[in-house]
Amino acid sequence: MKRRVWLGVCAALAGLASLGTCVGCGGGESAIQTMDAAEVAAVFSTRDAGRLLELVGDGVGRREQFQGQALSVWCVRANWPEGLEILDRAGYDPNAANTTEAAALLPGFAALHVAILTDATPNGRLDREAFVGRLLALGANPNQPCRYDNAGVTLERATPLHCALLFPDTLRLDAHEATLRVCRRLLRAGAKPDVVSPRIVKGREDAVTPLSLAVRYGNADLCRLLVEAGANPRRDLGGGVTPLSLAQERGDTALLRILRGEKGR
């Protein structure tokens, strides 16, 4: 079972040391930018709604960041859904993305990607489905691309749906059920099931779709969900490789029936 080593949530909230820049503030510094890192970290780690209300009440940039991280990402990593609501009421953009490599989160990650890929936080286990649902309701883009880089695997233009299929413990029973629910929410919100993402694995280049990732995992439930949503089992991923050919290589008859549209489980 892979470990969730790359998110490093505890270190992110406890080990910040320098001020960031205000992005999208429209001139001047917001109140958040005048604070030191420990003060900002404390607002989020203690989920101090009163203090956050004070801070955004003085004005907040629509895509403002602190130390390269979107403020909405801070809320997710603190397991603080109410913080997202406070930011939303202040006019904050739920699609604001990180711009610098901060606390192990790469540039381009928005709150939705982080919510999908986060499990443990300093404030307890994250309810990924609930966070994803809340972010989508606030206007998060179910197709927003990011660059995923972890354990020697890099995906360019990875969508939230790709991220859901890359969740480290997708095959664990409880995580598997949660991943199914997250994927359903994304698809209902308009996530495209067949986006191709270029991939590099230890220097070797290929491409993946959410369906091809599900096939590689041998996950019949996720394959069925994606095919029913319109994912193409014959989508060319380069060199004649398709999700269907990957299933044939596995010799997995259950997956082959799903991908061919045959009856039965």
- From CA 249, how far away is CA 252, in angstroms rounded? 8
All domains in the chain, ordered by first residue: 1-141 (1.25.40), 142-265 (1.25.40.20)
Helices assigned H by DSSP within the chain? 9-14, 37-45, 49-57, 71-77, 81-89, 111-117, 128-137, 160-165, 173-188, 210-217, 220-228, 243-250, 253-260
CA distance 182 to 198: 23
pLDDT of 12:
39
Report the distance separating Cα 209 and Cα 86, nearest Å. 35
- Phi and psi based region of residue 226 (left: phi greater than 0; alpha: psi -120 to 50; beta: remaining): alpha
The pTM of this model reads: 0.85
262 against 133, higher pLDDT? 133
Average pLDDT of the segment spanning 38-67: 89
User: Tens digits of per-residue pLDDT, 220-249?
Assistant: 999 999 999 999 999 999 989 999 999 999
